[in-house]
Amino acid sequence: MSMITIYPQNINQFTLIPNKFIDKFLSNSNGDFVRVYLLIIRYASKNIQSLSMLDVADKLRLTETDVMRAIQYWESADVMTIEYDDKKVIRSIKFNDLTNIDTVDAIVDTQKETAATTKQLDARINISSKPQYKIDEITSFMSRQNYKQLIYITQKYLGKMLTQQDINTLIGFNDWLGLPFEVIELLIEYCVSNNHRNMSYIEKVAINWADEGINTIAKAENRIETFNNSYFKIMKSLGIGDRNPTPKQITYMKKWLNEYNLSIEIIIEACNRTMETIHQPQFSYIDAIINNWHKNNVKTLKNVNELDEKHQSKSSTKKTDSTKNQSKFINYDQRTYNFDELEKKAMELLIKETDGSY
């Protein structure tokens, strides 16, 4: 078991916590991360200069994975400086001076770094695939209040008792994917509200959220609002509002909404034109229309109409020029025909030839 060196703080009967940490990080950080920080700084104040990950995990009733994730989190927020050995094992922890830290940026950066931190952990402690927990590990998780509450709430939402595999999956949302408990609860509520109670489906949503760095309630609520209000409006305009969009369709819609920053009205107009033209909800065709509009700096329906008028004007000019070129080679009077009269005569001739047997 490797031991970690801790550089001590001032030694006294009290543990000093920087005000900047309390003011700026306490309300924006995972509770377990804060507990790990407090315990390690407590060890430093006692002049305990070495400890193991297992010591911290046992003391807080966490897993070593939890402790590692917390330490990586504080490193990404510039609260701690971590020294690693050649095998990427932690060798020492030093607490940084927070006096001059740009706290506003630190909070934003910390939130942005959560997903990246999880990916770093995957590489360092080999959790790139979904873990399968042993019975004693599951029992340990379930003895902790936050996991116990999460399991209880999930069972209430799903209306059934969770199997061991369900619980393994649910634990992984936090322990493996790094999603905070409050975000997981909102995720489950969201899935159930859309009539999806299958744990495999819920896990896919959790993985998507983790990949997209959705690690706060605000981000989760924004994701749900976008999904409900924008994505399904687009799907509904194409006559497929009764199904969930595929990952490829979501990629298209993200591009239109986020990268091109187009209003939902503009996108739906492109959808309507697609359905009128090819009668199929083909996203690549919609994308071609929107790409053309984007190149022409179309931002409003008025811009769309102006672009249409411009295109029609060009088409009319080409048609007029073509007619003029044709007329140069025609120097005789064109005859006009009464097609109704010709058809009548043709019919009379046919009747006469067949002696009225037609």
Structure confidence at residue 341 (pLDDT): 53
* pLDDT given for residue 204 in this prediction: 86
Q: Helix 64-76 to helix 31-45 angle, to the nearest 10 degrees?
A: 90
150-178 tens-digit pLDDT: 999 999 999 999 999 999 999 999 988 88
State residue 344's pLDDT score.
47
The two tokens of residue 206 are 């959790």
Q: Could you report the per-residue pLDDT of 175-207, keeping only the tens digit for each?
A: 888 899 999 999 999 999 888 899 988 998 898
pLDDT of residue 159: 93
- Tell me the pLDDT of the chain averaged across its residues: 79
> Residue 294: is its pLDDT beyond 80?
yes
- Taking only the tens place, the pLDDT of each residue in 299-343 is 999 999 999 998 888 877 666 655 555 555 555 454 444 444 544
Predicted model pTM: 0.48
Contact 110/29 with Cβ under 8 angstroms? Answer: yes
Which of 25-29, 48-52, 210-214 ranks highest by mean pLDDT? 210-214
The separation between CA 18 and the C-alpha centre of its own chain, rounded to angstroms, equals: 35
The arithmetic mean of pLDDT across residues 241-267, rounded, is 88
| Average pLDDT for 109-116 | 42
CA distances from 170 to 38, 87, 165, 167, 269 (A): 27, 30, 9, 5, 41
Higher pLDDT pick, 74 / 342: 74
- pLDDT higher than threshold 60 for residue 235: yes
Domains annotated for the chain, with CATH where assigned, are: 4-125 (1.10.10), 129-215 (no CATH), 238-314 (no CATH)
In percent, the amount of the chain with pLDDT more than 70 equals 76
202 φ/ψ angles, rounded to the nearest 5 degrees: -60, -35
pLDDT at 116: 41
Residue 1 pLDDT class (50, 70, 90 cuts): low
Tokens of 123: 């590489």
- The string of DSSP letters for 105-168 reads HHHHHHHHHHHHHHHHHHHHHT--S-----HHHHHHHHTSHHHHHHHHHHHHHHTSPPPHHHHH
